[in-house]
Amino acid sequence: MQVNFTPGPSQLFHTVADHAKRAFRENIPSISHRSKTFEGIFQKTTEGLKELLSIPNNYSIFFISSATEIWEKSIQNLTESTSVHFVNGAFSKRYFEIAGQLNRKPHLIEVEVGKGFSINQIDSYQTELIALTQNETSTGVSLSADFIKAVRAKNPDALIAVDAVSSLPYPQLPYAEVDSVFFSVQKGFGLPAGLGVWMVNERCIEKAESLLKKGMSIGSYHNIPTLVANAKKNQTTETPNVLGIYLFSCIVEDFLRIGINRIRQETDYKAAVLYQSLASMSQAAPFVKEQVDRSKTVIVAECGDHAAAINKYLANYGLMPGAGYGERKNKQLRFANFPAHSKEQYELLADLLTKFN
């Protein structure tokens, strides 16, 4: 039995294979995306997600093929020319770069990898959109709700987009003080990859409509007005990943049954156990130095020349960490701490690391 700690695609939640079996038995992969059955699945998923994460009713929820696509569509629909990007790793950087590829003029606020941003750094920006990567998967740095609120306090007019790809359902995000939130299902929801979830409030819808009115292209089948029109019917524009949406509906139901508080408490507990273990090691240490910046859902260990040895040692016990990202591939190990990873697995992991020599 192996446990996959790679931060996405990661370990599947333990119920997924059974849900998939039932899906095939009930012919879900073969249903029309214009059928009542599909509309029921769509509605159950979006309503369940709103309940699970306490998402206000002024949000619309769209199913998109990946968070990467949402980077593109959010720039296209929410900016005419300007965006400000808080960048502290490869994924926040990629969001910034995509704005450039769409011929916008994005502005970069960058700190070293492994570092977070302080509230004192926040300015008032002349910009249409502020892009925040709430959890930077490449470095294991996360932004607090207080930081996000402080961005809004100084920038009441700009739209705020929050990339929560590798953290939800864990964080309690201040939805009322941001405008767009998105994530992928193959991380915290423990599902097969192939589905991104994009949530936008009415300010995003108005912005997209105003760009359209100016004669700008905001894309075609996945522009916000088209997504809204279809979502109102509990439908998608294109033939979507129906099986993926069905499996997502099942996991949202499972998570509601477990309870979001318990999921959050267990995430906190598992993170504490692993950070403590890393802090006790002589051959490794938490990469992110400041406690306040440390992600609870993607935990990065700086291992120097010991990374390969630690990796091999854990693999002997069936525990498979993710490699470091990019140029830190051979020096770091990354551990996803998602609901699919049990307390017992985390206790074993932490125990083994403490004993590593």
CB closer to a copy of itself out of 89 and 116: 89
How far apart are alpha carbons 199 and 115 in whole angstroms? 27
Query: Residue holding tokens 């599909």?
Result: 38
Q: How far is the CB of 44 from a copy of itself (least distance, A)?
A: 19
How far apart are alpha carbons 166 and 96 in whole angstroms? 18
Bridge-based pairing of strands 332-336 and 298-302 is: antiparallel
Closest listed residue to residue 194, CA positions, set 12, 66, 6 = 66
Q: How far is the CB of 318 from a copy of itself (least distance, A)?
A: 12
Q: How far is the CB of 320 from a copy of itself (least distance, A)?
A: 10
CB closer to a copy of itself out of 21 and 36: 21
Q: How far is the CB of 221 from a copy of itself (least distance, A)?
A: 5
140 φψ region: left (φ > 0), alpha (ψ -120 to 50), beta (else): left
Closest listed residue to residue 300, CA positions, set 275, 317, 320 = 275
Closest listed residue to residue 41, CA positions, set 196, 193, 186, 252 = 252
Q: What is the H or E stretch that residue 45 is in?
A: helix 36-53
CB closer to a copy of itself out of 61 and 70: 70
CB closer to a copy of itself out of 97 and 110: 97
How far apart are alpha carbons 266 and 170 in whole angstroms? 10
Binding site for a copy of itself (CB under 8 A): 2, 4, 6, 8-12, 16-17, 20-21, 24, 27, 29-33, 65-69, 71-72, 97-98, 101-103, 184, 186, 191-195, 215-217, 219-223, 237-244, 322
How far apart are alpha carbons 40 and 28 in whole angstroms? 12
CB closer to a copy of itself out of 53 and 75: 75
Q: How far is the CB of 342 from a copy of itself (least distance, A)?
A: 15
CB closer to a copy of itself out of 30 and 330: 30
CB closer to a copy of itself out of 150 and 242: 242
Backbone torsions φ then ψ of 27, nearest 5 degrees: 60, 25
How far apart are alpha carbons 216 and 339 in whole angstroms? 42
